[in-house]
Amino acid sequence: MKVGVVTFPGSLDDVDARRAVTIGGNEAVALWHGDDDLKGVDAVVLPGGFSYGDYLRCGAISRFAPVMTSVIEAAGKGLPVLGICNGFQILCESHLLPGALIRNDHRKFVCRDQRLRIERVDTPWTSAYAEGAEVTIVLKNGEGGFVADQPTLDLLEGEGRVVARYLDDNPNGSLRDIAGISNERGNVVGLMPHPEHAVEDLTGPGTDGLGFFTSLAEKAFA
Amino acid sequence: MARVVVDVMPKPEILDPQGKAVLGALPRLGFDLVTDVRQGKRFELQVDGEITPEVLAQIEDVAGTLLSNPVIEDFEVHVEEHSVAEVAHEAGRA
């Protein structure tokens, strides 16, 4: 499959994401924030970083980039979209996912290997995992606290839309230890930790993140 | 030229770590009367022409889509009245 990775001004992990896409057995296609052409890709990754310097709010300005108009429209038709860290923030600002990410409750940037439980595995990004799989993936963020009102949190839990949950310590004050969520259909997934940094033994804590990039090949999303 | 001010504040139920950091620093200045601090943002929009209800409605729209995130923030819009003297003073400075 062809997987587009968008580069915004201030994206940091676009190259790592493209590399992870390739290692996962798919073809990586570079997409540019200022171009609304998705180049016929079968899926899109919005990578981590500090797009637009995190000015205004994280992801708030990227949400209005020309490429996002196309991504939002295509996501509505079922295109698989994965937002990692800053990409997750952009998906929330775009209202493709509910809730918002705010500054970590302890006010410090956190960078560590984080244990997670994968709870939703019927998405094009997580089908390679067994339900309840416990994995270790790099986490690095300053504004990773997931918040939403109680009815929204109850809805996410009730519909099984919590994709990943923090194990051990909650690293950033996210409500109900939520590390990642999906839309109702499951094609749009937002995740605060960075699976693209956990795809090779040489660097990072292992290869537990690889599943996010091999799932696409294993199960084309209907 | 008119100026429209948009004030954006974190919703009361949303944790405001920046406000907490400021609150934590106040006792170091010997200032112990303050019991809470919430930190928000103020946007000053210079607008060409008259502020009609239609223009104000557009600004409300901008405030609710770009300037604030309704999930975590509330906003208020108000038109700032410039005194003639103040405008003249600014023009003189420029």
pLDDT by residue (tens digit) across B51-80?
A: 999 999 999 999 999 999 999 999 999 998
Q: Which residue of B has its CA nearest to A172?
A: B17
Q: Closest Cα partner for A33 from A3, A58, A60, A69? A: A69
User: What are φ and ψ of residue A50, in 5° steps?
Assistant: -135, 65
Q: How many C-alpha atoms does A124 have within 13 Å on its Cβ side? A: 24
Q: Mean pLDDT, 10 residues at a time, over chain A (222 residues)?
A: 97 98 97 97 98 95 96 98 98 98 95 97 97 97 96 98 97 98 98 97 93 81 45
The tokens for A61 are 């300005």
Mutate to test the interface with B, among A52, A54, A56, A62 (most CBs of B within 10 A): A56
CA angle B22, B28, B33 (to 5 degrees): 70
**Ranges of H-type helices in chain A:** 14-23, 66-76, 86-93, 150-158, 211-218
* Pairing outcome for strands A27-32 and A2-7: parallel
Characterise A25 by phi-psi region: left (phi > 0), alpha (psi -120 to 50), beta (else): left
Strands A43-46 and A81-84: parallel
Q: Is A92 part of the annotated catalytic residue set?
A: no
Active site residue A196: yes
Cβ atoms within 10 Å of A112's Cβ, excluding its own: 13
Q: Which residue has the tokens 């006792």?
A: B27
Confidence of residue B82 (pLDDT cuts 50, 70, 90): low
Residue B66 to residue A148, Cβ atoms within 8 A? no
pLDDT for position B94: 44
For residue A141, list its beta bridge partners: A110
Q: Do B15 and A64 touch (CB under 8 A)?
A: no
Residue B67's closest chain A neighbor by CA? Answer: A56
Nearest to A180 by CA among A116, A128, A132, A124: A116
CB contact under 8 A, A147 and B18: no
Report the complex ipTM: 0.85
pLDDT exceeds 90 at position B88:
no
Task: Mark whether A85 is an active-site residue.
Answer: yes
pLDDT for the residue numbered B31? 86
